[in-house]
């Protein structure tokens, strides 16, 4: 026995010594690389033919270095620290408007001034083209650069010169910047069959309190079931996600466990309060852009068999970021841990440690994922995001719709529409008339609108492959016939995708009159996944069978 113990001690000492040596070697190499960087910067400063700009050079160097890691590890210099603050709090100081780059006008346009915010109070409207800010012309500038110019300290002012469609010349207006707080829940309300609908768009500071208020208010209005819409929600603060899960799950349950390289990154997050609802049926809507904290909420409610998940597989971000202040007032947001939801699974889909050609990363194949189990014994898997319990068939978007949005055709039509109409019907009943759709088609033709068919691109690739393999002459007539038939026919496409185009146009117009809230109300009547959610909530037997399947 003594010999065995001594042998084990020798092995442990040998392993420990090896680890220490490996760690020392790593530190030596790291120190050496830092010395090389310092030497290069000094030589550039001393000998380069022109003066160097160290702040710009170092920032670019840091960003290039971080591209070798995951896309969530980012450096924010002092002048960009406000962006990081906005990500976590949803607050910033500016004029309060969404802006877009107008591809035809080559300048930035106001897309959606927020209700009650400085831009709207100054009389600005969606569609107004920004000409200059404080006398500096902004034509050709990126929206990021323009956004930086519009933001500033609360109480400071700027002079904005703009051009309004339908009016000659330009106008100037003085705007005082204010603190802008974007709501995490832009809309909640009662729907059919006593169902409360809540759209949560971000996990910023305080969003759990907003969710709590929404649920309590909806229950007062008679809600006996809930639909939580997390589609397009890219996540945010982890602790807010845990608090939202706690609204529906009893105290003392483990929601998230984080594991990182250092001890401080290893945390266990449990529900710490009494929930406000543990019985009402819940449906959570998700899609491919549902990520991070959103996946914690959806995945935890699935693992606890507390909600039915409907939609498309989520993004698959199982990484946790922390921020560290660096010398000079900047911040480094870096990935410090992976998180694991109640069943023990991590939903991370992309393996950033294995970068393939052109910086692309590999996705964890389904065949290599591991089975875990919910509280009721249902099978769930790690890797690749959250798989919904019900996945309705998604409608494929046409190439035409992409170009209509990208080229601002729908945006410009909505701008012209608002010039002619002072009011419209309420969001839940507004529709585009046949006459108005004809006017939209005429606008496209007057602009010589064109687009590339995906099928034409595929045919081009096929021709190249056939030429390589020697089949060009054999299939010459068939290829020519296909090329003729696949010529982009605008009238055909506008007729074939009329339903989808009408919805896009109406949605843009509703935004002009009723803002983001109105747009959500309009979309609820067109939402196929929402209709599936209603169906499941009506069918108590099917709802329960999904969450608690019959024992095998």
The catalytic residues are 292, 303, 317
Beta pairing partners, 339 = 258
Q: How far apart, in whole angstroms, are the C-alpha atoms of residue 307 and residue 285? A: 10
DSSP string, 338-391: EEE-TTS-----EEEEEE-GGG-EEEPPGGG--EEE-TT--EEESSSSPPPSB-
Instruction: Provide the strand spans (E) within 384-449.
Output: none
| Residue 260 three-state SS | strand
Based on C-alpha coordinates, what's the Rg of the chain?
A: 28
* Per-residue DSSP letter, 212: H
Question: How many CB atoms lie under 10 A from the CB of residue 412?
Answer: 20
* Per-residue DSSP letter, 236: B
CA-based max dimension of the chain: 97
- Strands 136-137 and 129-133 come out as antiparallel
Closest to 103 measured CA to CA, from 140, 149, 134, 146: 140
Token pair belonging to 545? 């069978």
Residue 15: exposure state from Cβ atoms within 10 A (0-12, 13-18, ≥19): exposed
Residue 267 and residue 258 in contact, taking contact as beta carbons nearer than 8 Å:
yes
- Strands 225-229 and 195-199 come out as parallel
Token pair belonging to 130? 């920004």
Q: How far apart, in whole angstroms, are the C-alpha atoms of residue 238 and residue 210? A: 16
* Per-residue DSSP letter, 451: -
What per-residue string of b and e applies to 64-103 under the rule 16 or more CB within 10 Å gives b? eebeeebeebbbbbeeeebbbebbbebebbbbbbebebbe
């Amino acid at each position: 026995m003594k010999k065995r113990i001594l042998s084990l001690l020798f092995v442990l000492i040998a392993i420990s010594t090896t680890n220490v040596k490996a760690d020392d070697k790593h530190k030596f190499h790291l120190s050496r690389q830092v010395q090389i960087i310092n030497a290069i910067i000094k030589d550039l400063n001393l000998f380069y033919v022109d003066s160097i700009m160290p702040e710009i050079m170092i920032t670019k160097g840091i960003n290039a270095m971080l591209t070798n890691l995951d896309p969530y590890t980012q450096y924010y210099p002092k002048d960009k620290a406000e962006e990081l603050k906005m990500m976590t709090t949803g607050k910033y100081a500016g004029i309060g408007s969404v802006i877009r780059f107008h591809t035809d006008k080559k300048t930035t346009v106001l897309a959606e001034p927020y209700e009650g915010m400085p831009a709207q109070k100054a009389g600005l409207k969606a569609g107004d083209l920004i000409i200059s800010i404080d006398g500096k012309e902004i034509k050709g500038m990126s929206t990021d650069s323009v956004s930086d110019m519009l933001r500033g300290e609360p109480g400071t002012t700027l002079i904005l010169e703009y051009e309004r469609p339908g009016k000659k010349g330009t106008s100037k207006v003085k705007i005082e910047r204010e603190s802008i707080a974007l709501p995490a829940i832009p809309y909640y309300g009662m729907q059919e069959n006593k169902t409360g609908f809540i759209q949560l768009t971000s996990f910023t500071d305080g969003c759990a309190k907003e969710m709590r208020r929404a649920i309590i208010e909806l229950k007062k209005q008679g809600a006996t079931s809930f639909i939580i819409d997390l589609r397009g929600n890219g996540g945010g603060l982890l602790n807010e996600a845990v608090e939202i899960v706690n609204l529906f799950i009893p105290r003392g349950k483990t929601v998230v466990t984080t594991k990182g390289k250092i001890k401080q990154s290893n945390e266990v997050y449990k529900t710490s309060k009494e929930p406000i609802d543990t019985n009402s049926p819940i449906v959570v809507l998700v899609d491919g852009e549902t990520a991070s904290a959103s996946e914690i909420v959806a995945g935890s409610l699935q693992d606890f068999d507390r909600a039915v998940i409907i939609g498309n597989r989520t993004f698959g971000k199982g990484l946790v970021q922390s921020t560290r202040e660096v010398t000079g007032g900047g911040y480094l947001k870096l990935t410090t841990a992976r998180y694991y939801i109640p069943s023990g699974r991590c939903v991370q889909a992309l393996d950033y440690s294995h970068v393939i050609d052109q910086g692309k990363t590999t996705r964890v194949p389904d065949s290599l994922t591991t089975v875990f189990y919910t509280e009721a014994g249902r099978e769930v898997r790690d890797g690749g995001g959250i798989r919904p319990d019900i996945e309705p068939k998604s409608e494929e978007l046409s190439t035409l719709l992409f170009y209509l949005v990208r080229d601002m055709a729908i945006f410009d039509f909505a701008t012209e529409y608002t010039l002619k109409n002072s009011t419209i019907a309420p969001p839940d009943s507004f529709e585009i008339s046949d006459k108005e759709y004809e006017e939209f088609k005429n606008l496209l033709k007057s602009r010589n609108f064109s687009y590339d068919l995906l099928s034409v691109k595929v045919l081009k690739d096929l021709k190249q492959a056939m030429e390589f393999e020697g089949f060009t002459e054999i299939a010459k007539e068939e290829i020519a016939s296909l090329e003729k038939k696949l010529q982009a026919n605008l009238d055909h496409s506008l007729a074939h995708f009329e339903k989808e185009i009408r919805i896009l146009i109406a949605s843009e117009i509703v935004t002009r009159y009723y803002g983001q809230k109105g747009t959500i109300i309009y979309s609820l009547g067109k939402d196929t996944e929402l209709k599936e959610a209603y169906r499941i909530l009506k069918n108590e037997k099917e709802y329960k069978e999904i969450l608690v399947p019959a024992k095998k």
